[in-house]
């Protein structure tokens, strides 16, 4: 196994950070790695906003459910799908298609994954923040996002002040299939995986969190997630056709 593969397999979310700045040359290296990610049709349909103003960071943190690590991490970046840039340079470009939302989301997610992997290779840690979509209208106004730009996720980066274990993943053959979709209904194997996840949560939380993977999924998917999102996408010029 290579050092790169081992680094990626040891990925875990860091939510407690040391009060130490990231060196400018390291930030430049992480940005370069992020920008080197694959891009569909070379559209480069992403923008990243680095929040360096502390007052602004506090406002963003409030919109993200007051998650403390959004304010305490050395860096907080907001990753956006961006077709506004394309219309600036090519006003006759046709935008608003649902496919373009997928392109922007995929391109931006690939950039984010490159960024976190590069950061971890430098001894840093981080956590992605989906809560930037909690109040997208307010966040867009705060950051001055024009039509054609939507915030997808945030990324906290910094020096870890904790050392959590990686979360146990699903058995590989439940996710990697050959020659077609293979439904899995092995209750015994799922029960074993549920037990692994329960043990992980109990250990990590000091016994305060007692749930399984299927229990967490049942809870998460029992409620509608951000029902305002479709209207927001339409207002920003996405998924119009």
State pLDDT tens for residues 149-169.
999 999 999 999 999 999 999
Query: 3-165+224-235: which CATH topology?
Result: NADH Oxidase (3.40.109)
Contact assessment for residue 139 and residue 57, using Cβ atoms and an 8 Å cutoff: no
pLDDT band at 1 (very low <50, low <70, confident <90, very high): confident
Q: What is the pTM of this model?
A: 0.94
Of the candidates 71, 68, 59, the one whose C-alpha atom is nearest the C-alpha of residue 142 is 59
- In this predicted structure, which of 1-10, 44-53, 207-216, 228-237 has the lowest mean pLDDT? 207-216
**129 bridge partner residues:** 154
- Hey, is 180 helix, strand or coil? coil
43 has a pLDDT exceeding 80? yes
State pLDDT tens for residues 71-81.
999 999 999 99
- Hey, is 171 helix, strand or coil? coil
State pLDDT tens for residues 115-127.
999 999 999 999 9
């Amino acid at each position: 196994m290579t050092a790169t593969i081992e680094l990626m397999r040891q990925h875990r979310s860091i939510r407690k950070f040391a009060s130490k700045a990231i060196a400018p040359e390291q930030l430049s290296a992480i940005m370069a790695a992020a920008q080197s990610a694959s891009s569909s049709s070379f559209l480069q349909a992403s923008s990243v906003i680095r929040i360096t103003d502390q007052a602004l960071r506090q406002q963003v943190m409030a919109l993200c459910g007051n998650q403390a690590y959004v304010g305490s991490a050395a860096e907080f970046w907001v990753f956006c799908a961006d077709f506004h840039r394309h219309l600036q340079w090519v006003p006759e470009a046709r935008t608003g298609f649902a496919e373009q939302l997928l392109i922007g989301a995929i391109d931006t997610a690939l950039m984010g994954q490159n960024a976190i992997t590069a950061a971890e290779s430098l001894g840093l840690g981080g956590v992605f923040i989906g809560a930037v979509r909690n109040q997208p209208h307010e966040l867009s106004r705060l950051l001055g996002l024009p039509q054609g730009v939507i915030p997808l996720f945030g990324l906290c980066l910094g020096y870890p002040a904790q050392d959590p274990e990686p979360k146990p993943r699903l058995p590989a053959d439940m996710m990697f299939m050959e020659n077609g979709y293979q439904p899995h209904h092995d209750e015994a194997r799922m029960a074993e995986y549920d037990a692994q996840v329960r043990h992980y949560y109990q250990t990590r939380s000091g016994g305060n969190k007692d749930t399984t993977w299927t229990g967490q999924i049942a809870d998460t998917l029992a409620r509608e997630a951000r029902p305002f999102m479709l209207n927001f996408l339409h207002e920003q010029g996405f998924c119009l056709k």
